[in-house]
Amino acid sequence: MVDVIQLGPFQVKTSVLIYVLSGLVGYLVIRLRGKDNKDQIQAITEIVSGMALLAFVLWKFSYVLFHPLKAVENPLSILYFSGGSRGMVLAGVGAALYVWVQLRKRQIPLNKVIYLTSIGLLAAWGTFHVQHLVLYEENDLYHLLQSILSGVCYLWIHNSISYNTRRNGWIQLLLWFNIGQIFVLFFKDSAAYMIGLSKEQLLYLLLGISCLLADLILEKLKYFKET
């Protein structure tokens, strides 16, 4: 597989094109699933698209923030490297702040944004791993399992979750997604960091425990309201 594609005077990494195509699929899924409410879907699509673009830019160009000397010495390295896990955290925080500001500004119901964002991200996530499965000959089982996990979660939302689903339904979905990630990451080449788990697995474990605690707290609150 060619790692770099020549587009006129520019060289573009194949991995960047994979991200772009994955994002495009996620965008199209959001547009199709929200076509019944054209006024709000337009605003939600703009928010989700802006969030995705901002997250990508922060993740990609955070390399300059975390490695300023290397970026100055070799500016082209910005095109080939990213901020890594720290860049992902920065991208997540920036995207969350962007969505929060936009929701307050446009007064759009949060549940609709969560619904459409979730199916869009799952569609993009699945597309990303399917492309890796087809184009690259490495970690085939890992990418296959990621594709299956994305499809299962997408079908879960499609069949069991709607705009009006309460928080418990989303928490349970997120819990099982995190559990699935811990299992799937055993098939990825990564070094164990603690208790036989990689850093990524530990992060998903922490998120899964948080979801479990949140689910238990909501159930307790529901019980007290009913008694």
- 3-state secondary structure string across 176-187: HHHHHHHHHHHH
**pLDDT at res. 19:** 81
pTM over 0.85: no
Q: Are 70 and 38 in contact (CB under 8 A)?
A: no
Q: Please indicate, yes or no, if residue 179 is contained in any of the structural domains.
A: no
**pLDDT at res. 38:** 65
pLDDT (average), residues 29-57: 76
Q: Please indicate, yes or no, if residue 184 is contained in any of the structural domains.
A: no
Domain count, the chain: 1
Share of the chain above pLDDT 70, in %: 80
Residue 227 has pLDDT above 50, yes or no: no
Q: Are 92 and 55 in contact (CB under 8 A)?
A: yes
Q: Please indicate, yes or no, if residue 78 is contained in any of the structural domains.
A: yes
Q: Please indicate, yes or no, if residue 171 is contained in any of the structural domains.
A: no
Q: What angle do CA 51, 53, 59 make, to 5 degrees?
A: 100
Mean pLDDT taken over the chain: 79
Cβ count near 18 (within 10 Å): 18
pLDDT (average), residues 198-210: 87
Q: Please indicate, yes or no, if residue 65 is contained in any of the structural domains.
A: yes
Over residues 102-158, the pLDDT tens digits come to 878 877 777 777 788 888 889 999 999 998 888 887 778 899 999 999 999 999 888
Containing domain of residue 128, as a range? 4-165
Q: Please indicate, yes or no, if residue 219 is contained in any of the structural domains.
A: no
Q: Please indicate, yes or no, if residue 174 is contained in any of the structural domains.
A: no
The three-state secondary structure class of 175 is: helix
Residue 36 exposed, middle or buried by CB count within 10 Å (0-12, 13-18, 19+): exposed
Distance between CA atoms of 125 and 117, rounded to whole angstroms?
Answer: 12
Q: Across-strand partners of 12?
A: 5
**pLDDT at res. 5:** 63
pLDDT (average), residues 87-115: 80
Instruction: Name the pLDDT band for 7 (thresholds 50, 70, 90).
Output: low
Backbone Cα Rg of the chain? 19
For residues 9 and 209, which has the higher predicted lDDT (pLDDT)?
209
Cα 28 to chain centroid distance, Å, stands at 16
DSSP string, 96-161: HHHHHHHHHHHT--HHHHHHHHHHHHHHHHHHHHHHHHHH--SSHHHHHHHHHHHHHHHHHHHHH-
Q: Please indicate, yes or no, if residue 194 is contained in any of the structural domains.
A: no
**pLDDT at res. 224:** 47
For residues 162 and 174, which has the higher predicted lDDT (pLDDT)?
174
Q: Please name the residues in contact with 95: beta carbons below 8 A apart, sequence gap of 6 or more.
A: 51, 52, 54, 55, 58
Residue 22 has pLDDT above 60, yes or no: yes
Lookup: tokens for 33: 């699933």
Residue 40 has pLDDT above 60, yes or no: yes
